[in-house]
A and B are shown apart, each in its own frame.
Chain A
Amino acid sequence: MISAFYCFILSAAMFSLGILVFVIKKNFFLMLIGLEIMINSCLLLFISSGNYWNDALGQIIYIFIITISAVEVCINLSLLFKFYKINNTLNVNSLSELKK
């Protein structure tokens, strides 16, 4: 049987790697990928906690977070389109030129 401790370690490692992807990469698209990894680790933590205490609330919060993630992806990808249309690149170092 799987212990709860393994799942918590796995979610913490995923969150750390997601932060690493978000901070290191200068690409808008890869920053979104890092954000998705972080959200995924939170989902794993909620599911494992809910199953650990035999509570259905973990999966309900999972459904709510997955909706928020879909909303976030929609808005961020539309922002990415606008960004790419203006700058013709996905490098976030040119983000200060978004106002033009």
Chain B
Amino acid sequence: MKFMFFISSFILLASIFFIIFGSNLLYSTLLLIVSFLSTSIIFFLLGSYLAGFLHVIIYSGAILLLFVFVIMIINSSSRFISTIDVKNVVKICIYFFICIVFFLDITYPMYKCFNGTKFFQLVSPDRVGIVLFSDYFFVIELSAVLLLEALIITFYFNKDYKDF
């Protein structure tokens, strides 16, 4: 189990590194799908099966498919991302140093609090459903309203008034 966790974490971080150093939009999107699938494997390993299934269905199946459709529609196959040159390498080193400082700043207090003394427990989908549809029913309604707002905003963004 621990071995699977480390393997999927390695695939996740490696795919994000390849996104950083990549030069093609479609490959970057496919690598993002790989990273999301490895995240869903981690969710399964942690014992949250509902989140793992939702991650595969919604993220990898719906949202990232939308990304791929956008690449096909804008037809930017000839417009590759500029490859990393010497100036960008210096910039990447500076940003990476900042990120490492940020990383240590976050993880050191966590290391003091969660030093491997307690392990994960299974939270079953039944329990999530019962809590969600009783105490947190407002969250579902709010999510539905948010999706409706997104539909309206998207319609008005791409509405061409000359056609009407």
Residues of A whose CB lies within 8 Å of any CB of B are: 1-10, 12-21, 23-27, 29-30, 32-33, 36-37, 40, 43-44, 47-48, 50-52, 54-60, 62-64, 66-71, 73-75, 77-82, 84, 89-90
A36 CA / B26 CA spacing, docked (Å): 16
Query: Of all chain A residues, which has the CB nearest B106?
Result: A12
Nearest-Cβ distance from residue A47 to partner chain B, whole angstroms: 5
Cross-chain contact of A70 among B29, B63, B131 (Cβ < 8 A): B63
Cross-chain contact of A71 among B82, B92, B116, B146 (Cβ < 8 A): B146
Would you call B39 and A40 a contact (CB within 8 A)?
yes
Q: Which residues of B from 68 to 86 have beta carbons under 8 Å from A?
A: 70-71, 73-74, 76, 79, 81-82
Q: Which residues of B from 112 to 164 have beta carbons under 8 Å from A?
A: 114-116, 118-123, 127-128, 131-132, 136, 139, 142-143, 146-147, 149-151, 153-154, 157-158
3 shortest interchain CB distances as A-B pairs: A16-B99, A3-B116, A67-B143
A5 CA / B38 CA spacing, docked (Å): 18
Would you call A73 and B119 a contact (CB within 8 A)?
no
Instruction: Give 22 pairs: A residue, B residue, CB < 8 Å, sorted on A.
Output: A2-B2, A2-B45, A4-B120, A9-B107, A17-B16, A19-B99, A19-B102, A20-B96, A30-B81, A36-B63, A37-B32, A51-B120, A51-B121, A54-B123, A59-B48, A66-B55, A67-B143, A70-B150, A74-B151, A78-B158, A81-B74, A82-B157
Would you call B118 and A52 a contact (CB within 8 A)?
yes
Cross-chain contact of B123 among A12, A18, A59, A79 (Cβ < 8 A): A59
Query: Of all chain A residues, which has the CB nearest B140?
Result: A63
Query: Of all chain A residues, which has the CB nearest B151?
Result: A74
A80 CA / B131 CA spacing, docked (Å): 38
